[in-house]
Chains A and B, each alone.
Chain A
């Protein structure tokens, strides 16, 4: 039998959970220390998603909500990369779900009150299950920046939300990907809730001109690292021994 345990999470490289510059955290962030315990099967196991659930255009946000073959507004991009663990072992079969604003910075969501336009041909929702080498790719539209109420009105940098299921429920990651060169990144309190500058930068995708699929699409590379899982083998002991 395999004994598996998750690598201990290093909170020096995670955002502060209570971060008053991000106003919404004030009433929601817990104050007590989290309790750490050795991994059990409940954290090491996790839901297994089959590629059967994935439709043909699930990773193509340019097409998956378009009506009568109309293109969404904005410029097309390819976002690609790999999902690996902390030992750089590719994580295959990982479910990646993304969501984002449209080119004018508006989400297709009833709670988004930003005074900009919905794009009837763009929902901003996609998913992918990683290949054997951990790779993934999405075709989408460059999301716009947008204002939101925080300390007065502030602006979010252009970003795409990522939700990832690895093989363990304890590997679960929800994060955001930013775009190289966006001057709003350094002003963003959500980005700055991460104290370490180098690890903050790991959320910024890199422009990759060489990977441009055709002349009308830019490519951005974003690699993701999930928590590592230690494995040791042991013989089953009999009950009571």
Chain B
């Protein structure tokens, strides 16, 4: 039996365009009253702010200019390594003036995957914008964690011999991390075909 014949083709991507905020963050863009709340405003509404870390940074284009018309979405587990419900989903955009995004969330725990392997704490990041015919997937790891045994980091180093530093947020203060994304150029971030 040819199983492949029973697999249909995925609907292709198209760019999210410059006006994606209308559909994804209407209250934020000044279209009030349709949805009570934009989704993804707070990834862990039941947790206290004092437990949060802050991840900030910019998304740079090929001219190394920070862009502000991108939509960022993150998905992560809680501090115990559990994915559940809507917890751990966030949606945000860079600031119009500073061109910096800022995500306040809890530091994820290590997470055990189906194969029983333990992955170092990380946050999945999806970037959508005008000029991107497909949204881009990457991961945010943390430089104060031990990454040597992380199966994905090891996989990249063993198979592609890449510099993995673009996947790692730098600790710049007690609970503050810096994570910049480079869409192109010498510093181009590692993106994934999930």
Contact = CB atoms under 8 A, between A and B. Distances in A.
Interface of A: 1-4, 6-11, 13-17, 19, 22, 24-32, 34-37, 39-50, 53, 55, 57-58, 64-65, 84, 86-88, 95, 97-99, 107-112, 123-127, 161, 163, 169-170, 172-176, 190-191, 193-194, 199-200, 202-203, 224-228, 237, 239
Looking at chain B's contact residues, is the secondary structure mostly helix, strand, loop, or mixed?
loop
Interface string B182-194: 0110001111111
Nearest to A241: B116
A16 B86 contact: no
A237 B129 CA distance: 43
Contact of A49 (B22, B86, B131): B86
Contact of A65 (B34, B129, B130): B34
Residue of A9, A28, A41, A107 with highest tally of chain B CB at under 10 A: A28
Interface of B: 6-24, 26, 29-31, 33-37, 39, 61-63, 67, 69, 73, 75-77, 83-86, 88-89, 111-116, 119, 122, 124, 126, 128-137, 139, 151-152, 155-156, 160, 162, 183-184, 188-194
A41 B83 contact: yes
A25 B132 contact: yes
B135 A172 contact: yes
A87 B7 contact: yes
Nearest to A83: B11
A237 B30 CA distance: 52
A193 B18 CA distance: 17
Contact of B8 (A88, A112, A123, A126): A88
Given A27-B62, A31-B188, A14 B12 contact: yes
Contacts of A225: 8-11
Residue of A48, A88, A99, A224 with highest tally of chain B CB at under 10 A: A99
Contacts of B34: 55, 57-58, 64-65, 123, 125
Contact of B133 (A10, A17, A203): A17
A228 B14 contact: no
B133 A15 contact: yes
Given A17-B132, A30-B189, A99-B19, A47 B75 contact: yes
A145 to B, nearest CB: 14
15 contacts: A11-B193, A16-B133, A28-B132, A35-B192, A40-B119, A40-B152, A42-B77, A42-B122, A43-B194, A44-B114, A48-B85, A99-B20, A107-B19, A123-B22, A175-B14
Contact of B35 (A11, A42, A55): A55
Contacts of A169: 75, 124, 126, 194
Contact of B22 (A3, A39, A125): A125
B62 A108 contact: no
A35 B139 CA distance: 12
B55 to A, nearest CB: 16
Given A14-B134, A202-B9, A30 B188 contact: yes
A182 B38 CA distance: 33
B20 A1 contact: no
Contacts of B22: 99, 107-109, 123-125
